[in-house]
């Protein structure tokens, strides 16, 4: 083919041929793109190690959490799982020395694994199945710890990024709540208040059953727990009056009288400042402002009902309460409301406090009515010791980090509390009357009732905790005079019985009680709460635990509630304070340990 020179060109060709220049431009452009690509790849490859490391850190932490969940699962299934030390099937080890082999478990579906170490307490080197309490449970705090390490494995299946968390377990406690009830119904032994002490009988054939006896059998139940009898609100005491000689008797005449189980409700405007638990359902009053529970989102509001009311979420009737008071307006179906479906199970109350007598030194064991006035680390005592020693206004030290126990008399009878005659105290009853200021940790216990005579306060310069535990009632002293009961009679029926009385002196307003209160078989209640002028505010700073919902006021009588949780009870308790039956272990705190193990 002939070569075209500049002297010999095709007709119409431009003055300068561009094809060679275009080829050079393309080659240069490709070179630039290639260089940029190489630079980008190099930069990306330079970032890969740090990106992979961050991903592996997340995988390792997730693996550690998986190990914790595994341990918690077994601990929930078996509350004594921890006491089996390293004999369990999970990868549980004694404390690692940094070089010895450890048992690991793979996280399914991932390239990660985890291992668990038990962290002995009280100076011990390992957990011993022969004595797990002494070797694993901290003797002061009542807690135990484990350490969980997660690892994101490299291709060799041995090395890789590790992360470690240390978890502190504590048993569920009755003191986890500012307010705890077993049953949300008034104590059946107080039903004589509604009949004013008049003779009552219900239509049950030849057997006589007064309103208090009826309440004890019909109302001592959870709401709706017996489908054969209907729910608690459906129970009825009924006497037709007249010739049937049932109902309520005024003078010589029988009048028709009806009573139902006394459901106590949270009123509009009530505020419970702290975590809350009931084994029952609650009844709350609709209106504005609404009932509020809790202070912050971490305060658990728990209703362990099976949901007989059909409300959604289950467990409350009458209104939609709000949770997380002070931080949000989330209603009960959001926030931290926990029903049975969310794992809020029933916690059983111990049947009695007699076990605490074994923890009580002889000098602090009393019998019969005993009165103490606390004064920081000491107290003035009037009463009789178990050994027969009589104290009359004697000053003795409070049993710091210990217990004072008042027992019933072994020889004299003790009758139950009469809400219509609160001043009557049988000599054989192990009743403790208490007031004053304390500055040491102490638990005061009575086999019968505890009567709060005036303010009970913690010395603000101390971190002391006080426990008050009674088998029966814990009562606030409120003496009255000129009490009378007046039946409202219409068309042959007693509609209700009103009460009138005069306050016989006031304990002051607000009345302040700084204590963890536990009434095992009855209630925290104010004597004669149903009559007299208003008494102001009853401020409880601590915790209230009771078998039945206790009343502290009615209408314009008695006290207004102001209950605030003492946050220290999350981590500490008064000496030898009782735990719920079959209490499970829960993770109290967990923190990452750096460097990982």
294-315 pLDDT tens trace:
877 777 788 887 655 544 456 6
| Domain limit, last residue, from 311, 328, 348 | 348
Check: pTM over 0.95? Answer yes or no. no
Predicted confidence at residue 574, as pLDDT, reads: 94
- Asked if 548 and 474 sit in the same domain, the reply is yes
Predicted confidence at residue 572, as pLDDT, reads: 84
Residue 365 lies in a domain: yes
> How far apart (Å, rounded) are the C-alpha atoms in residues 510 and 522?
24
| Domain limit, last residue, from 260, 281, 308 | 260
Predicted confidence at residue 509, as pLDDT, reads: 67
- Asked if 270 and 325 sit in the same domain, the reply is yes
Average pLDDT, integer, range 232-261: 92
Predicted confidence at residue 343, as pLDDT, reads: 63
406 has pLDDT over 80: yes
Predicted confidence at residue 15, as pLDDT, reads: 44
- Asked if 452 and 519 sit in the same domain, the reply is yes
Predicted confidence at residue 9, as pLDDT, reads: 38
Residue 14 lies in a domain: no
β-bridge partners, 166 = 147, 591
Q: DSSP characters for 424-491?
A: ---TTS--EEEEEEE-S-EEEEESS-EEEEEEEEE-TTS---EEEEESS-EEE---EEEEEEEEEEET
The number of domains in the chain is: 4
Q: Which two tokens stand for residue 1?
A: 């083919």
Q: What is the pLDDT of residues 528-562, one digit of tens each?
A: 999 988 888 899 999 999 999 998 988 888 888 88
Instruction: Write down the residue that tokens 């009830």 correspond to.
Output: 181
- Asked if 444 and 529 sit in the same domain, the reply is yes
The percent of residues above 70 in pLDDT, for the chain, comes to 84
- Asked if 414 and 462 sit in the same domain, the reply is yes
Q: Which of 304-308, 451-455, 507-511 has the lowest mean pLDDT?
A: 304-308
Question: Peptide bond preceding 289: is omega within 30 degrees of 0, i.e. cis?
Answer: yes
Residue 33 lies in a domain: no
- Asked if 302 and 226 sit in the same domain, the reply is no
Other beta carbons within 10 angstroms of residue 256's beta carbon come to: 20
User: With the CA atoms of 20, 22, 23 and 25 taken in that order, what torsion angle do they form, in degrees rounded to the nearest 10?
Assistant: 130
Q: DSSP characters for 204-222?
A: STTS---HHHHHHHHSSS-
Exposed e or buried b per residue across 25-46, where buried means at least 16 C-beta atoms within 10 angstroms of its C-beta: eeeeeeeeeeeeeeeeeeeeee
14 has pLDDT over 70: no
Predicted confidence at residue 119, as pLDDT, reads: 96
| Domain limit, last residue, from 236, 260, 284 | 260
Confidence class for position 129, pLDDT limits 50, 70, 90: very high
Average pLDDT, integer, range 450-467: 96
> How far apart (Å, rounded) are the C-alpha atoms in residues 249 and 256?
9
Instruction: Write down the residue that tokens 């957990």 correspond to.
Output: 127
> How far apart (Å, rounded) are the C-alpha atoms in residues 556 and 1?
121
- Asked if 461 and 551 sit in the same domain, the reply is yes
Confidence class for position 459, pLDDT limits 50, 70, 90: very high
Residue 148 lies in a domain: yes
Residue 5 lies in a domain: no
41 has pLDDT over 90: no
Exposed e or buried b per residue across 337-346, where buried means at least 16 C-beta atoms within 10 angstroms of its C-beta: bbbbeeebeb
Residue 281 CB-density burial (10 A; 0-12 exposed, 13-18 middle, 19+ buried): buried
> Mean pLDDT for the chain?
85
> How far apart (Å, rounded) are the C-alpha atoms in residues 470 and 447?
6
Confidence class for position 120, pLDDT limits 50, 70, 90: very high
Q: Which two tokens stand for residue 273?
A: 């400042």
Counted residue by residue, the chain has a size of 597
- Asked if 234 and 324 sit in the same domain, the reply is no
Average pLDDT, integer, range 129-143: 87
- Asked if 254 and 154 sit in the same domain, the reply is no
Residue 402 lies in a domain: yes
501 has pLDDT over 50: yes
Average pLDDT, integer, range 28-55: 58
Residue 45 lies in a domain: no
Backbone angles phi, psi at 446, to 5 degrees: -130, 135
Q: Which of 44-58, 177-191, 311-325, 525-539 has the lowest mean pLDDT?
A: 311-325
β-bridge partners, 524 = 474
Average pLDDT, integer, range 503-515: 79
Choice between 21 and 221, residue whose per-residue pLDDT is larger: 221
- Asked if 481 and 506 sit in the same domain, the reply is yes
Predicted confidence at residue 7, as pLDDT, reads: 37
- Asked if 438 and 545 sit in the same domain, the reply is yes
- Asked if 403 and 509 sit in the same domain, the reply is yes
Choice between 143 and 306, residue whose per-residue pLDDT is larger: 143
Structural domain including 303 reads 174-191+264-348
Helix/strand/coil for 339: coil
């Amino acid at each position: 083919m002939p070569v075209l020179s500049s002297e010999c060109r095709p007709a119409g060709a431009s003055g300068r041929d561009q094809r060679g220049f275009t080829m050079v431009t393309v080659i240069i452009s490709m070179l630039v793109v290639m260089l940029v690509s190489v630079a980008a790849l190099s930069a990306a490859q330079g970032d890969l190690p740090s990106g992979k490391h961050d991903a592996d850190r997340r995988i390792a932490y997730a693996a550690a959490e998986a190990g914790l969940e595994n341990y918690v699962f077994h601990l929930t299934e078996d509350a004594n799982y921890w006491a089996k030390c390293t004999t369990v099937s999970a990868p549980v080890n004694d404390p690692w020395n940094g070089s010895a082999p450890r048992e690991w478990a793979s996280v399914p579906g991932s390239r990660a694994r985890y291992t668990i170490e038990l962290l002995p307490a009280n100076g011990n080197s390992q957990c011993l199945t022969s004595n797990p309490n002494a070797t694993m449970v901290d003797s002061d705090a009542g807690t135990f710890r484990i350490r969980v390490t997660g690892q994101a494995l490299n291709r060799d299946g041995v090395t890789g990024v590790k992360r470690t968390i240390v978890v502190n377990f504590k048993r569920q406690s009755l003191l986890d709540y500012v307010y705890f009830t077993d049953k949300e119904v008034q104590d059946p032994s107080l039903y004589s208040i509604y009949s004013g002490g008049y003779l009552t009988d219900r239509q049950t054939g030849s057997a006589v059953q007064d309103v208090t006896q009826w309440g004890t059998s019909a109302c001592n139940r959870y709401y709706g727990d017996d489908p054969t009898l209907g729910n608690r609100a459906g129970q009825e005491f009924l006497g037709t009056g007249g010739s049937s000689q049932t109902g309520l008797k005024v003078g010589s005449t029988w009048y028709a009288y009806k009573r139902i189980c006394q459901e106590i409700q949270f009123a509009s405007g009530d505020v419970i400042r702290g975590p809350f638990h009931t084994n029952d359902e609650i009844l709350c009053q609709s209106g504005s402002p609404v009932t509020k529970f809790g202070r912050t989102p971490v305060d658990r509001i728990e209703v362990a009902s099976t949901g007989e009311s059909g409300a959604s979420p289950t467990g409350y009737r009458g209104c939609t309460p709000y949770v997380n008071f002070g931080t949000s307006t989330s209603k009960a179906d959001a926030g931290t409301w926990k029903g049975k479906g969310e794992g809020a199970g029933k916690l059983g109350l111990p049947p009695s406090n007699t076990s605490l007598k074994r923890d009580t030194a002889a000098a602090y064991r009393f019998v019969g009515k005993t009165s103490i006035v606390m004064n920081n680390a000491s107290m003035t005592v009037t009463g009789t010791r178990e050994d027969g020693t009589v104290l009359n206004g004697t000053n003795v030290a409070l049993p710091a980090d210990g217990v004072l126990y008042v027992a019933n008399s072994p020889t004299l009878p003790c009758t139950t509390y009469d809400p219509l005659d609160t001043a009557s105290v049988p000599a054989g009853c192990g009743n403790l009357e208490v007031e004053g200021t304390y500055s040491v940790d102490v638990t005061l216990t009575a086999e019968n009732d505890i009567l709060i005579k005036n303010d009970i306060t913690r010395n603000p310069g101390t971190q002391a905790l006080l426990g008050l535990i009674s088998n029966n009632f814990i009562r606030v002293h409120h003496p009255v005079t000129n009490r009378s009961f007046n039946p409202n009679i219409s068309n042959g029926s007693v509609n209700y019985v009103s009460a009138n009385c005069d306050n016989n002196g006031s304990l002051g307003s607000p009345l302040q009680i700084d204590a963890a209160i536990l009434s095992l078989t009855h209630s925290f209640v104010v004597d004669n709460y149903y009559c007299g002028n208003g008494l102001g505010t009853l401020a409880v700073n601590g915790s209230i635990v009771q078998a039945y919902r206790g009343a502290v006021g009615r209408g314009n009588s008695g006290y207004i509630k102001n209950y605030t949780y003492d946050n220290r009870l999350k981590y500490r308790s008064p000496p030898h304070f009782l735990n719920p039956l079959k209490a499970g272990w829960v993770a109290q705190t967990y923190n990452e340990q750096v460097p990982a193990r």
